[in-house]
Amino acid sequence: MEVAQLVLDYLRVLIWPAAVITICLVFRRQVVALLDRVRRAELPGGFAVDIERDIMEVKSLSATVRQQPAPPDKSRGRPAIPLTEANARMIQLGLRPSPSGLDISYYRNLAEQDPNVALAGLRIEIDILAHNLAKGFHVSTADRDSGARLTRKLHDAGAITSEQMQLTMTVLRVCNAAVHGEPLSSEDADDVISSAEVLADQYLAWLSWGFDDGWTPRAERGAG
């Protein structure tokens, strides 16, 4: 039942961006003209987002996070989990599986066709990873906690760095603008997705070293 509910939740999130894409195709000329002018999105509640500024910030923060040192001794000598085993590992640990299997190139390819839908999917991905991290680090959560709220909780608990929190929050801000219909180019979406990839890489590393359960890659288990 939990998996079925998760699928329904995904569909609810994706309905609005899909409708936006359909409208854009019908009114293509008008939309092209607007794309040249519109660089700010106002979300419900009057919260304004400067897309161009946020994308530049995402790229800068991504470079900073990528340069941060790996976690100390915990990761030393531990085998790296193959990308193909990521979802199996999460299910084994009682965590929610990733829609992309942590393969962020899925969203990059989707952005070539539908930038808004790609970023809506990325937002779902980040929400799931935040829930999983909160569970793994024993951070108190509520069912209604958003990815942004969980990110703040993870930072307050010392589970993630300030730079990781800032990067995640800024990526989510751009993704939320896309979900609410802000038109984005495939290049803009690709910049955001590529910048967020470092978060998926670090999460994958955490799956490898963050649990003392004697996990080994499938290839090594077969060899043994």
Gap between the Cα atoms of 133 and 2, Å rounded = 18
By the 8 A CB rule, do 177 and 51 touch?
yes
| DSSP assignment letter at 214 | -
What is the pLDDT, as a whole number, of residue 132? 95
| Span 63-73, pLDDT tens digits | 999 998 776 55
Counting runs of H as helices and runs of E as strands, what totals does the chain give?
A: 10, 2
The per-residue pLDDT for range 168-199, each reduced to its tens digit, is 999 999 999 999 888 899 999 999 999 999 99
How many CB atoms neighbour CB 224 within 10 A? 6
- The domain limits of the chain are 2-213
pLDDT the model gives residue 190: 96
In order along its 224 residues, the chain shows pLDDT tens digits of 455 555 445 545 555 445 545 544 555 554 444 444 444 445 454 445 688 899 999 999 999 999 987 765 555 556 678 888 999 999 999 999 999 999 999 999 999 999 999 999 999 999 999 999 999 999 999 888 999 999 999 999 999 999 999 999 999 999 999 998 888 999 999 999 999 999 999 999 898 887 877 777 666 665 55
Please tell me the pTM assigned to this model.
Answer: 0.74
